[in-house]
Amino acid sequence: MASNRIQRLIAKYLTNQASFDELDELEHWLVKPKNEKEFFNYVKTNYLIDYNLKKFNSNPTKKNLQNLIHKEKKVIQLRKVRKYMKYAAVLVGVLASAYFFRDNIFNNSVENVPVIVNTIEHGTDKATLTLGDGSQVTLKKGTSLQIQNANSNGEELIYTAGNKNSKEVAFNYLAIPRGGQFFVKLSDGTKVWLNSESKLRYPVSFVEGETRKVELVYGEAYFDVSPSTEHNGSKFKVFNNAQEVEVIGTEFNIKAYRDETNVYTTLVEGKVAVAFDNRIKKLLPNEQSSFNPNTNDFVITQVDVYNEISWKNGVFSFERKPLKEIMKVLSRWYDVDVIFENKDLEDVKFFGVLDKEQNIKDILKTIKKFKIIESYEIKDKVIILK
């Protein structure tokens, strides 16, 4: 049986989190014939890959695996060069691992799947911008826009510093529909990634010397705030419902969907103070607050930050999440409705990592193959789980 060390290396390899040295160690371990078989037995047992596996000691199969590891090493080298990849998207996860092994190492037949009535597309960059005069502009890939002190290429909206001395504040709204996402850079340099079904209210230009205020009307947003030291000490605050988050210069995520009771604030780095009901609680990195506006209940817990913010890097990462919660996330991104014909399925917990550009049919086939659901059906834009 593989040692704990090797088991950890295999898990990190499958989730694209292994370092160059760790991949090198795994590759050297696989040189021994007995370890080749052990590798696949471990993967098959622990990652629910139920394809008819071929014997790993065949030369083509072994060569394919070695090529994949070498490619992964090249990806790691790129990560070292590109700073923004510090929260790099996981390209291959546990949920997708069956397809990873099937398509890249083994040649196996694909099972028959339910007939799909309509093709469901994954989400893309799109938003509706509401200007100060109430007029609306649609932002989407392939379109460009130049207004006031902002411009857009259809995939992001960039504001430049306006007249900081003006006391007249004009606000814009950026609304992201189901099946959408968008990036906006505010006039102070703060970067905001908005998830599906979200809405942000913000000033076109911040007033010099005054607290910078924005409002997450609803939905989910990741903030990389321009520090107060670059703005003469001006604080930055994010409002949502009955909660207020004050930041100094930090990265954090707020999730406050209309169909969810609690508001979740996750601190990645820096400092934030969450204010509610005349109380203030400070968060440390890797902590998440859960606030219920109806009862004023407030809880702080330690979380795996990657799972909370992976959506902005092109993947959804779930760790023992109920299927109902997972499908709620997918319904926003793929703009579909989900019906649980078997209500018992709602509470089944699952672990997996999904590429946001993955076909919804592949996701459903994988969930079915893992025996989490017996079957599924798609009618127009409604998914029925059975």
Domain boundary among 266, 289, 308: 308
List C-alpha distances in Å: 167 to 130, 202, 206, 207.
Answer: 21, 15, 9, 6
User: Is residue 114 situated within a structural domain?
Assistant: no
User: Would you give the end-to-end CA distance of the chain in angstroms?
Assistant: 37
pLDDT value of residue 175? 98
pLDDT value of residue 45? 56
If asked whether residues 83 and 173 sit together in one domain, one would say no
pLDDT value of residue 50? 31
pLDDT value of residue 372? 81
If asked whether residues 226 and 360 sit together in one domain, one would say no
User: Is residue 35 situated within a structural domain?
Assistant: yes
pLDDT value of residue 171? 94
Cβ burial 325-357 (10 Å sphere, 16+ → b, else e): ebbebbbbbbbbebebeeeebeeeebebbbbbe
If asked whether residues 271 and 327 sit together in one domain, one would say no
Do β-strands 180-185 and 191-194 pair in parallel, antiparallel, or remain unpaired? antiparallel
User: Is residue 116 situated within a structural domain?
Assistant: no
User: Is residue 110 situated within a structural domain?
Assistant: no
Those residues whose C-beta lies under 8 Å from the C-beta of residue 349, and which sit 6 or more positions away, are 320, 321, 322, 323
Task: Tell me if 255 sits within 8 A of 262, measured CB to CB.
Answer: no
If asked whether residues 275 and 323 sit together in one domain, one would say no
pLDDT value of residue 4? 76
Among residues 265, 171, 266, 263, the alpha carbon closest in space to that of 218 is found at 263
pLDDT value of residue 163? 66
Q: What is the CATH number of the domain that holds 379?
A: 3.55.50.30
If asked whether residues 130 and 246 sit together in one domain, one would say yes
- Containing domain of residue 87, as a range? 4-104
If asked whether residues 146 and 293 sit together in one domain, one would say yes
User: Is residue 36 situated within a structural domain?
Assistant: yes
If asked whether residues 293 and 355 sit together in one domain, one would say no
pLDDT value of residue 78? 37
Cβ burial 365-378 (10 Å sphere, 16+ → b, else e): bbbbbbebbeebbb
If asked whether residues 277 and 154 sit together in one domain, one would say yes
Run of H or E including 360: helix 360-369
If asked whether residues 254 and 161 sit together in one domain, one would say yes
If asked whether residues 283 and 209 sit together in one domain, one would say yes
User: Is residue 184 situated within a structural domain?
Assistant: yes
Q: What is the pLDDT along the chain (386 residues), one digit of tens a residue?
A: 567 788 777 777 765 566 767 777 887 887 777 787 777 766 655 554 333 233 334 455 455 555 555 554 444 443 333 333 232 222 233 334 333 333 343 334 344 444 444 578 999 999 999 998 999 999 998 889 998 789 999 999 999 987 666 667 889 999 999 999 999 999 999 999 999 999 999 999 998 889 999 999 999 999 999 998 888 889 999 999 889 999 977 899 999 999 999 999 999 999 999 999 889 999 999 999 999 999 999 999 999 898 899 899 888 888 788 999 999 999 999 999 999 998 999 998 877 778 888 889 888 887 887 778 889 999 989 999 99
Cα–Cα distance, 236 to 331 (Å, whole number): 32
Domain count of the chain?
A: 3
Domain boundary among 252, 280, 308: 308
Domain boundary among 104, 139, 157: 104
Cα–Cα distance, 104 to 155 (Å, whole number): 32
Q: What is the CATH number of the domain that holds 299?
A: 2.60.120.1440
User: Is residue 187 situated within a structural domain?
Assistant: yes
If asked whether residues 149 and 95 sit together in one domain, one would say no
List C-alpha distances in Å: 378 to 114, 122, 322.
Answer: 8, 15, 21
User: Is residue 121 situated within a structural domain?
Assistant: no
If asked whether residues 216 and 264 sit together in one domain, one would say yes
Task: Tell me if 164 sits within 8 A of 92, measured CB to CB.
Answer: no
pLDDT value of residue 280? 93
